[in-house]
Amino acid sequence: MPERALLAVESTETVGEPIVNISIFLAFVVLTLYITFRASRNNKTA
pLDDT of residue 42: 85
pLDDT of residue 46: 55
Which residue range forms the structural domain that includes residue 20? 16-46
Residue 20 lies in a domain: yes
Residue 8 lies in a domain: no
pLDDT of residue 16: 80
Residue 45 lies in a domain: yes
Residue 9 lies in a domain: no
Alpha-carbon gap, residue 28 to 44, rounded angstroms: 26
Alpha-carbon gap, residue 4 to 25, rounded angstroms: 33
Residue 6 lies in a domain: no
Region at 38 (left for phi over 0; alpha for psi -120 to 50; beta for the rest): alpha
Report how many domains make up the chain.
1
Residue 28 lies in a domain: yes
pLDDT of residue 11: 56
Residue 11 lies in a domain: no
Residue 44 lies in a domain: yes
pLDDT of residue 2: 55
pLDDT of residue 4: 57
1-46 pLDDT, tens digit per residue, is 555 554 555 556 667 889 999 999 999 999 999 999 999 888 877 5
